Chain A
């Protein structure tokens, strides 16, 4: 059973329906006890970093989730802002992130781009996965739908599990032991997203 954490942010129905479509049992929950009993967790997030962090910290879920993730080492998948929340901080806001992964979240900087880029990055984009990353198993030409103005900047290169290109190379996903985060939206990336979620479930 995968618990999709509901702290009042994001369109959770798409994630739930996609999991249902691939035959993976999941539940959308606000209840820490349900989160504790789940095999794996999904941390969604859409919109503003500070807003998402505030909603999460006031949801009553944080303590349980941190225990499950950091102590029990159960797998968790952060999606979009959910993934950004796992970093230490973001240029988008003033709130601290969860700090599970060392690094920060930075705004796309058109002045650093090799060609003109419009912010936000809102498009289907190819990604290049590091070889052996199980999350991208069986996905021949991985491409996913991105919608973001900010991207991850990891301190540890080894924790970047895939990169993408938008004006310049940036981290498309991260992985540190049982903690996984994807900047893109698997639930908006039809067959690619489905295989990725299937892979996450099979970990």
Chain B
């Protein structure tokens, strides 16, 4: 996640800690043979900034794996520029709500496979899952599953499901949430928020029925003191403890 040009990581969508320079991080992830990288500019929408295509192109040039970009996308022309810059998919969050029709436009012009719908979820005081926008500060009075289904119908190729409650907590994914959504959609759901280890990855897929898993803190902080250390499991470890058992 990029905030003021620096890479940051949050806890429950707050307490953003500086992790490093995005380009350096990308280079390290290259070394670690990461499968796919999602680059999200979390301040773009808040600051009403358009995506910085030149910067995205620079980062894309350094990435030796597929890349997705999200943050401040409001217009199809931005999407065209971003995809041309060497990015495989765009991630849409606020615009799903604020600009209905954009997802459909992206699917029509570039194909659903380029459109990822990012949905941030928090439990309300009644214990119900609600969709939030604006970095988790504004609740939309809509049921998560209904919202996710609308995204699918609109043309999203994948859903990136973020648990705000679990974000940065290392408490494991919210499999209940993941399962609720995954079982109602025919497009892949990527689980995000709370991963602390391989067990969590397995859990998200086996119990949560996620098609894929994403993690942030798990790859950038070293516990117990959360020192900044960029890491990633080896292909062998992933094969033995995750891929072969799901």
Contacts and interface: CB of A to CB of B under 8 A. Distances in A.
A138 B225 CA distance: 40
B64 A194 contact: yes
B86 A11 contact: yes
Interface string B47-79: 000000000010011111110000000000000
Contact of B62 (A17, A120, A124): A17
B111 A14 contact: no
The range of chain B's interface size is: 10 to 19
Contacts of A145: 65-66
A14 B113 contact: no
Contacts of A189: 64-65
Give the residue among B34, B57, B63, B111 with the most A Cβ atoms within 10 A.
Answer: B63
Contacts of A191: 33
A13 B30 contact: no
Contacts of A68: none
B85 interface: yes
Interface of B: 30, 33-35, 57, 60-66, 84-86, 88, 111, 113
A191 B29 CA distance: 11
A13 B111 contact: no
A188 B62 CA distance: 10
Nearest to A9: B84
Nearest to A192: B33
Interface centre among A11, A118, A187 (most CB of B within 10 A): A11
Nearest to B187: A118
Nearest to B64: A190
A9 to B, nearest CB: 10
A118 B33 CA distance: 26
Main secondary structure of the interface of B (DSSP, over half): loop
A16 B84 CA distance: 16
A18 interface: yes
Contacts of B60: 11, 13-14
Interface size class on chain A is: 20 to 34
A117 interface: no
B64 A11 contact: no
Contacts of B65: 145, 188-190
A122 interface: yes
A92 to B, nearest CB: 13
13 contacts: A11-B61, A11-B84, A14-B86, A18-B64, A118-B113, A120-B111, A122-B113, A124-B35, A145-B65, A147-B66, A187-B64, A190-B64, A190-B65
Nearest to B188: A118
Contacts of B84: 11
A14 B88 contact: no
Contacts of A82: none
Across the A-B interface, the 10 shortest Cβ-Cβ residue pairs: A13-B61, A11-B86, A190-B64, A122-B113, A190-B33, A188-B66, A17-B61, A190-B65, A191-B33, A145-B66
A103 B73 CA distance: 41
Nearest to B112: A118
Contact of A14 (B33, B34, B61): B61
A122 B86 CA distance: 15
Contacts of A14: 60-61, 63-64, 86
Contacts of B62: 17
Nearest to A186: B64
A115 B111 CA distance: 21
